[in-house]
Structure 1
Amino acid sequence: MNKNVIVTAAVTGAGETTKKSSHVPVTPAEIAQSAIESAKAGATIAHIHVRDPKTGSLSHDPALFREVVERVRESETDVILNLTAGGGGDWIPSQEDPTTGGPGTDIQTPEERHEPIGDLLPEICTLDCGSLNFGDQLYISPTDWLRKQARLIQESGVKPEMECFDTGHVRFAKQLIDEGLIDGDPMFQFCLGIPWGADADAETMLYMRDKLPDNAHWSAFGIGRMQMPMAIQSMLLGGNVRVGLEDNLYLDKGVFATNAQLVDKVVTTMGGLGAKPMTPQEARKHLGLRNPYGKAD
């Protein structure tokens, strides 16, 4: 069991969740404030996507990322920032010509995915380690793209969190390590329960954990009603946890949550089992991160 836990708050995500809950932050000011409130509730890390302020839909605009980062960094609340670098990877075949992308297709090159990372230099960014049947669409991250993106992240000095949606993604992440494209102790995130990736259950989590290098840091999350069970299961198996409105909208059945409430719930549950959240300062040392605030760790 892990008793000193890194807690990540995934505060907004990229899905169409703004139509379901008014608590999902949309504007840069709302996203930054939600990250700050999550940190005050006990989150160590804030995982950041951005959205079009007018429509609430996914955006890749570097200016929106910049505003979120600047607002958080200018606040009095310390939190590690983890920016998404998954970028545009959505492929929906056209009904008229399945060799081309239809409505909803959104593809970015490795360079485009990396642009906000190289510009803003967060402490952590995500690296989605493979393609996947993601619900009714395909998420595309070819291996040659991932090698290029891993190299760009490495050159920037940002720590990649390698996102693994299925067991083969763990295998390829280890290949990136073997090829020298990941520096220091590697950091993994198991993304469980997403159709049609790895199941959100203890057996799958344990299998993926046991495939990791000995020096790996890891975390896991489940979506929907499996968010809290997978968070606690991860802690019990020695990992870290992630909660937030990117993955689950509810505090209880029929009760919409805020990000801070989800963080508070998992921190309280952890406390009942004798665990506590790491502070950002502790996590920077633990993960080998630089401190962008210029404070002594």
Structure 2
Amino acid sequence: MNRTVVITCALTGAGDTVGKSEHVPVTPEQIAESGIAAARAGAAIVHVHVRDPETGAGSREVALYRKAVELIRAADVDVVVNTTAGMGGDLVLDPASPTTILPGTDLVSGVERLAHVGEVRPDICTLDCGSLNFGDGSLVYVSTPDILRDGARRIQELGVRVEMEVFDTGHLWFARQLVEEGLIDPPPMFQLCMGIPYGAPADPRLLATMVQQLPPDAVWASFALGAMQMPWVAQSVLLGGHVRVGLEDNLYLSRGVKATNAQLVERARTIIEAMGASVATPEQAREILRLPAGAGR
């Protein structure tokens, strides 16, 4: 069991959730405000996507990241900033003619996906460690071994810590390969992402198996979608890991009750402390991850 637990709050994501909850932040100002509130509630790390302020759709626009991160860093609260680097991997194919690329495709190189990371220099950024049939339909998330190696090298050059996002068991295999090739700085940081159709299902037995496959010096967290978000907090802590909650993964505090990011962090904190563990401060999170003190501020 983990006795000092880092809470990450994933603030908004890029999914089609804006119309489903009034609490999903859209503008850089709203994203920053929600992140600051989550930090005050006990999140040591905030995971930042940005959205087009006009449409609410996920965006790779560097200026939006710059504004959101500047506002978070200017606040009177300390928090570790973790930005996505997963945007730019969407490929939508015509099932009747698979060589035909459909609207909704946003597919760029691994290095181009990191344009905002080079600009804002977060403490951490993600690396989605494999391709995936992303839900029903014809959307494929594309992240090939060569794309991932190029991205990992660029992140190392920027001096940013990688959080390897693992959506299936094969992704974990390749993430370990990146570590063995020296493309991931120690300690390797893994996020085990469960319940995303059609990746690894949210099965506690599978989580335990994946944890057994991690390198001995790994720092890891996990999360699951929807109603499994809070049970997964307990699962992660029991198995020795850290946790992630937030509106990217779940919109509800309880059945029919829509949540804010701060409320989800508060609920996770209640679970962690009821288990006899403590919630890590940002300073403790930096020590666990070997991040420079006050990095990025």
- Report TM bin, short chain: over 0.9
Equivalent position amino acid for 1:43 in 2: A
CA–CA separation in structure 1 for the residues paired with 2:161 and 2:153: 11
Aligned residue-pair number: 295
| Runs (5+) with no aligned partner, structure 1 | none
Higher mean C-alpha displacement, 22-31 vs 277-286: 277-286
- For residues 2-57 of structure 1, give each alpha carbon's deviation from its aligned partner in whole angstroms, at most 9, with x where no partner exists: 11001000010000100100100000000000000000000010000000001111
Give, in angstroms, the shift of residue 244 of structure 1: 0.3
Matched with 2:109 is 109
Deviations 1:231-262 (A, max 9, x none): 11001110000000000000000000000000
Unpaired stretches in structure 2, ≥5 consecutive residues: none
- Give TM-score, length-normalised by structure 1: 0.97
> Is the contact between residue 193 and residue 223 of structure 2 (CA under 8 Å) also seen in structure 1?
yes
- Corresponding residue SS for 1:99: strand
Residue 293 of structure 1 and its aligned partner are, at CA, apart by 5.4
1:196 to 198, 205, 216: 198
Q: CA RMSD in A?
A: 1.2
Conservation of the 8 A alpha-carbon contact between 2:166 and 2:192: yes
Q: Where does 1:161-176 land on structure 2 (aligned, <5 Å)?
A: 161-176=163-178
On the 8 A contact 1:73/1:293 being kept in 2, the answer is no
Q: In the alignment, which residue of structure 2 is the partner of 1:281?
A: 283
Could you report, residue by residue, the CA deviation over 1:167-224 in whole angstroms, capped at 9, with x for unpaired residues? 0111101111111111111000000001111011211111110001100000000001
State the Cα deviation string for residues 120-164 of structure 1 (Å, max 9, x = none).
111000000000111022110011000000000011110000000
Match of 1:208 in 2: 210
Aligned to 1:146: 148
Partner of 2:43, secondary structure, is: coil
Distance in structure 2 (CA, Å) of the matches to 1:294 and 1:86: 21
| Aligned equivalents of 1:270, 1:126: Cα separation in 2 | 24
Q: Which residue of 2 aligns with 1:180?
A: 182
CA–CA distance in structure 1, aligned partners of residues 146 and 105 of structure 2: 20
Q: Distance in 2 between matches of 1:264 and 1:251?
A: 10
What is the rounded CA distance, in whole Å, between the counterparts of 1:207 and 1:182 in structure 2? 22
Give the CA deviation at 1:291. Answer: 3.4
Q: 1:102 to 1:177 in 2, by over 3 A?
A: same
Q: Is the 8 A contact 1:127 1:163 kept in 2?
A: yes
CA contact (8 A) 1:167 1:208 kept: yes
C-alpha distance in 1 between matches for 2:250 and 2:43 = 16
> 1:100 and 1:32 mapped to 2: Cα distance?
38
Task: Provide the TM-score with structure 2 as the length reference.
Answer: 0.97
Question: The residue matched to 1:169 in structure 2 has which SS?
Answer: helix
- Number of the residue aligned with 2:119: 119
Q: Runs of 4 or more off by more than 3 Å in structure 1?
A: 291-295
Secondary structure of the structure 1 residue equivalent to 2:111:
helix
Partners of 2:294 and 2:114 lie apart in 1 by 19
How many angstroms does 1:96 deviate by? 6.1
Match of 2:249 in 1: 247
- Which amino acid counterpart does residue 220 of structure 1 have in structure 2? S
Report how far residue 292 of structure 1 moved.
Answer: 4.4
Residue aligned with 2:193, SS: strand
8 Å CA contact 1:95–1:102 kept in 2: the answer is: no
Name the SS of the counterpart of 1:242 in structure 2: strand
**Secondary structure of 1:65's match?**
helix
- Contact between 1:123 and 1:291, CA under 8 Å: does it hold in 2? no
Structure 1 match to 2:70? 70
Is 1:51 the counterpart of 2:67? The answer is no
Distance in 2 between the 1:131 and 1:291 partners?
34
Residue 166 of structure 2 aligns with an amino acid whose one-letter code is: C
Query: Residue 246 of structure 1: SS of its match in structure 2?
Result: coil
The percent of aligned pairs where both chains have the same amino acid is: 55
Deviation at 1:95, TM superposition (A): 5.0
Q: What is the DSSP-based 3-state SS (H/G/I as helix, E as strand, rest coil) of the residue aligned with 1:98? A: strand
Deviation for aligned residue 1:268 = 0.9
